[in-house]
Every structure is written in C-alpha cells, then in structure tokens.
Amino acid sequence: MPMIDYRNLKIAILGGGNVGANVANLLLTHRDELEARVGAGLEVVGVAVRDPAAERTPAIPAELLTTDAHALVTGADIVVELIGGIEPARTLVLEALRAGADVITANKALLATHGEELFEEAAQVGAQLHYEAAVAAAIPIIRPLRESLAGDRIRRILGIVNGSTNFILDKMDTEGWTTEEAMRVASELGYLEADPTLDVEGYDAAQKAAILAGLAFHTRVPVDAVHREGITKVTSDDIAAAKAAGYVVKLLAIAERVRSPLGGEGIVTRVHPALVPREHPLAAVHGGHNAVFVEAEFAGSLMFYGAGAGGVQTASAVLGDIVSAARRHLAGGPGVAESTSADLPILPFDAVSTRYQIVLEVADVPGVLAQVASAFAEHGVSIEQFQQSAARGEDADPTATLVVVTHEARESALAATVEALNGSPAVRRVASVIRVEGL
Ligand code: HSE
C-alpha cells in the first residue's frame, strides 16, 4: 500500500480524568481509521495532568503525560480542554485560541459564565470553539441546534439535561425509593458531581439551559438569567400524587420564546421540577439518561435522547468535535461563528404562563371548597381539575387533601393565590406547588 502523506495535526489534551483518558485512548487506538476519515494525521502530542502517577482507566501512555499545560498548548493545532472548572481552564483556552488552535471543551461551567469572552476571541482569530460534550454529553444537540436547525424558528426546548437528578426522581417514581435512598445510590454509582448541590439544586442544569437557549434563540443568555429551582423540595408524596394524576416529576430545563409585556418577543429560561404527562416522550426518559425535546415551528417536535454522562460516551462527542476541527484546519477559513443575530430580550420569569398542580390539606368542613375556589378566582387563576381524597384524622377534626390543577396562569397570579390559600382559615397546609409542562 502506498504511504499517504497526510498533513499532521497536533492534538493537545488538557485533563486526564475519566473523559480525558477515554479521549486519549480512543484517539490512539482508532488513529488509522480517524486519520483516513479526516485525511490528516491526528497526533496526540500530550495529555496535561496534575498528577502523572495517578491511576487511570483506560491508562494513558506515560510518555504522553505532562504537568505543563501551557507548554503543551503552544504549537498545538487542536486543544481539547477537559479540566473542568473556571481556572486554569479559561486561561488555557484563551491561550490556545490566541495561538490559532481550534479548541474543544466539555466545560459547561466555563461556557455558561465566560462564553461571551471565549466566543469573541475565537471569532477574532478565526478559530472555532467546539463544545458538543458540554450539554447532554453523548447526545448530539449543539450541532443540530447551531447547524441543522439554523433555518428554523425554535419555539421551545424542554430538556432533561441532568442525569443524576433524573435517576433520583425516576427511582422514586418507579421503585418507590425515598429521596435519601435515591441520593445515596446515585452517589454510589458516581452520577453526582463532586459537589452534589450542583446537581440537586439545579446549577448544572441551569448552565446547560443557558447554553441551549443561546443557540436556539441566537441570543446570548447569561446563566444568571436562568430561573433555578432544584429537586430538594420534591417529596415522595408529590411523586405519588403526580403518578395518581397521570404525570411524572422531572427536573426540566426550559427555554422558550414568549410575548414580551412591552411588545415583541423575548426569552425566558428556567430550571425547575415539573409534572410531565406520562404520554409525553420525556416521561419515558429513565435512569441517568438525558433527552432534549425541541419544538420548532417548521420541523415540528424533535427529541434527542441518550447518555448524558460517562467517560467513553462523552468522549464520543469530543471525538466528533476533533474530526470537525481537523476538517476545518484542512479546509482553512474561519470556523462557524456563534450567531447572536436575534439578540432577543431576556425576560423575567414572570413573563411565563404555565399550568400548576397545587396540593392542599384542608379542614373537611362545610364551605371549604368555596373558600379555596374563591382564592383562585380572586387572583384570576382558572381551575381545570379538582380532586378530593377521603378525609383522614379525628372525626371531630378531619383533614382532606385537595389536588387542584389550573389552566395557564402567570407566576405572579399563582404566587398571590398561594399566599391567599396560606392565609385562609380553611387551609391547613399548601403541601406542594408544581408546574405542569409538556402540553
Ligand atoms: N452531574 C451531571 C449529571 C454530569 O448528572 O448529568 C453530566 O454533566
């Protein structure tokens, strides 16, 4: 066979953790196939790590390991940032872009907080920043939003983008586990971030939501503009009530176009637990899986589903980005820039109208339903469904549980209703308020 004289591209990997080790291993073991696919030599010039002696699975050849990330970046054509966190990742990515390298990152925190700075630097030097692995790991969602759907108008995105919270909620729903049991197993399986608050309080999902919203609506969406609620207030009772009513509780990342009160359109991005109808495709996303449901004006509804974490799965998305970056290096010309052409206003959370399920514990005495109904009516919130369970407690002082599902209402109207319910003598407790989505 004649030797093919490929142009050689130098690849520097920053970070030798689970994903970094898998990326290095796949690049080394599938090198011939990938080189033939791209038409260029793909040489891993080094893997920057903190501790070269640490044990890694899969192992990285010792001669590739270095602790000098800055030196490794110099002279590389493609830099793969898998360190995570803000620093030194930010500085290294900027150094790499300024040196003309294309950069691949899986770093959602870095993109959500310093995306603007990095994308501007990339555009200025004509390099490209790729980040398919930053949201929903193995699932292709960045490229579909940025390229395949670039001609469409996206109306709304509903995403299950955090695998560990999906695992927890799913086990509570399907196995009847308590929150504590589900958390413990999620932790044992390594699903949770080192700081589990990032998962259970919705920070991780909010970072991913900001990235998806920016791409979908051609607008920069700062992570601080994402309304965020985690799953820590969701109880087994909420899950059981949802089940009885034909819903499942999911932590959703939602980005949508809404009418602005000032006229025109704006965007609201939010992360919170929500009731999803059991027949909705997102209800079938079990365990630690992720899915992103896109509602586009012309394409209709699309669902992207798969592994949202895992070393080798995430490495697949990184490898796809390496192939894209290598092809751009061969073709020349600037990379695909991020489009912020729409620059839509970011609206406050209250611009959203949605439906709500409210669970109330009330005194089971005459006139209670009228009092409850009038609290809703006074604030202009229309009731769609109403269910009362058999009363329990002392005969002289029975408590009934009411489950109310509303028509679409504004957040402020719902909050005022809940305040009125809390102040009503008939209401013993507003047990939960959960938004209903996906209809
Ligand atoms: N902690 C994240 C999750 C890992 O649970 O989805 C992937 O970003």
The answer, yes or no, to whether residue 199 has pLDDT greater than 50, is yes
How do beta strands 265-277 and 227-228 pair?
Answer: parallel
Cβ contacts of residue 296 below 8 Å, gap of 6+? 149, 152, 153, 154, 155, 302
- Which of 108, 111, 164, 168 has most ligand 1 atoms within 8 Å of CB, for mutation? 164
Query: Is the shortest distance between the CB of 199 and ligand 1 below 6 Å?
Result: yes
Q: Is the CB of 191 inside a 6 Å radius of any atom of ligand 1?
A: yes
What are the tokens at 251? 């932590």
Structure token pair of residue 320 = 């796809």
Can you say whether the dihedral through the CA atoms of 114, 120, 124, 129 is positive or negative? positive
Q: How many other CB atoms are there within 10 angstroms of residue 176's CB atom?
A: 12
- For residue 377, is pLDDT > 70? yes
Please give the Cα distance from 173 to 375 (Å, whole number): 31
Domain ranges of the chain: 9-138+312-331, 142-307, 352-436
Regarding the beta carbon of 376 and ligand 1, being less than 6 Å apart is answered no
Please give the full DSSP string across 12-71, using - where no structure is assigned. Answer: EEE--SHHHHHHHHHHHHTHHHHHHHHTEEEEEEEEE-S-TTS--SS---GGGEES-HHH
Give the Å distance between the CA of 196 and the centre of ligand 1.
10
Residues of the chain above pLDDT 90, percent: 85
Atom of ligand 1 nearest to the CA of 191: 5
pTM, whole model, 2 decimals? 0.94
- Tell me how far the alpha carbon of residue 356 is from its chain's centroid: 22
CA of 298 to the centre of ligand 1 (A): 31
Q: What percent of the chain has pLDDT over 70?
A: 98
Q: Which residue among 82, 135, 161, 199 is best mutated to probe the pocket of ligand 1, counting the most ligand atoms within 8 A of its Cβ?
A: 199
**208, two tokens:** 């991913």
Residue 193 Cα: closest atom of ligand 1? 1
Hey, what CATH topology would domain 142-307 get? Dihydrodipicolinate Reductase; domain 2 (3.30.360)
Query: For the domain 9-138+312-331, what is the CATH superfamily, name and number?
Result: NAD(P)-binding Rossmann-like Domain (3.40.50.720)
Torsion of CA 241, 243, 249, 254, to 10 degrees: -100
Mean pLDDT across 248-259: 97
Determine if the peptide bond prior to 58 is cis (ω within 30°): yes
107 CA → ligand 1 middle, Å: 11
Q: Average pLDDT for residues 274-284, to the nearest whole number?
A: 97
Say which residue the tokens 């004289």 belong to: 5
352-436 CATH choice from 3.10.310.30, 3.30.200.20, 3.30.70.260, 1.10.260.40: 3.30.70.260
Q: What is the pLDDT of residues 390-431, one digit of tens each?
A: 777 666 678 999 999 999 999 999 999 999 999 999 899 999
pLDDT confidence bin for 359, thresholds 50/70/90: very high
What's residue 194's pLDDT? 86
Listed in sequence order, the residues at least 6 apart from 300 whose beta carbon sits closer than 8 Å to its beta carbon are none
Catalytic center residues: 208
Ligand 1 in reach of 309 Cβ (< 6 A): yes
Question: What is the C-alpha separation between 125 and 335, in angstroms, rounded?
Answer: 10
Strand 383-388 versus strand 265-277 pairing type: unpaired
The answer, yes or no, to whether any atom of ligand 1 lies below 6 A from the CB of 163, is yes
Q: Which ranges constitute the DSSP H helices of 126-155?
A: 142-143
State the average pLDDT for the chain: 94
